[in-house]
Homo-oligomer: A and B are copies of this chain.
Amino acid sequence: MIPVDWKSLFEPAPASASVPGSGRGTAFRNIRKVRIEWSHCAPAGIVFYPRYFEIFDNSTNALFERALGLTFFQSLKTFKFAGYPLARTRSRFIRPTRFGDDVTVVSSITFGRASFSIEHRLIHDGEICVECSETRVWVVHDPTVPGRVESHPVPEAVRAKFRM
């Protein structure tokens, strides 16, 4: 019987991924406080992990809202897009969190060509508890087929907002 060496359960992430923006100073960042609620927790007494993805999805929306200075619905109109669906996600669950914990989520964004990445870190008592990396695509309405969307490079007008 051996004590949990949680850290060793994960391959070390590449430095650039685990420290978004470090050494480059370019990643736009948003920080929000989240109260862990009873509704987030499962019978083990700790957060049920799908709830973390709700928290991170909310954090992505908050990041955009702050950068663009618009609500999500205002953004849809202003930038004529149809959303930024998730294409891929990776997460590491390092330490559990519990009902009543006041945690901090630090979210930063990096733009690629047709997609962008968001790194979330959920922190409690000065320790990273969960790390999550999302790849999302910017999609617009297909003008020829109602209800169909297609990917599109993130407009420069949007990217510019994240540089300020």
Bound form: Cα–Cα A84–B63 in Å: 33
**Do B43 and A39 touch (CB < 8 A)?**
no
Q: Per-residue CB proximity of A93-117 to B under 8 Å, as 1/0? A: 1111011100000000000001100
**Do B4 and A38 touch (CB < 8 A)?**
no
**Do B93 and A86 touch (CB < 8 A)?**
yes
Q: Main secondary structure on chain A at its contact with chain B? A: mixed
Q: Which of A19-27, A48-56, A156-164 contacts B (4 or more CB under 8 A)?
A: A48-56
**Do A38 and B10 touch (CB < 8 A)?**
no
Chain B positions within 8 Å of A38 at CB level: 42-43, 48, 57-58, 61, 72
Contact of A41 among B4, B5, B43, B85 (CB under 8 A): B43
**Do A4 and B71 touch (CB < 8 A)?**
no
Q: Per-residue CB proximity of A105-142 to B under 8 Å, as 1/0? A: 00000000011000000000000000000010101100
Q: A43-B44, A73-B99 are in contact. List 19 more A-B contacts (CB 8 A).
A: A4-B149, A5-B151, A9-B135, A9-B137, A37-B54, A37-B58, A37-B61, A38-B72, A41-B42, A41-B43, A42-B42, A43-B99, A46-B85, A49-B53, A73-B98, A73-B100, A85-B96, A86-B93, A89-B93
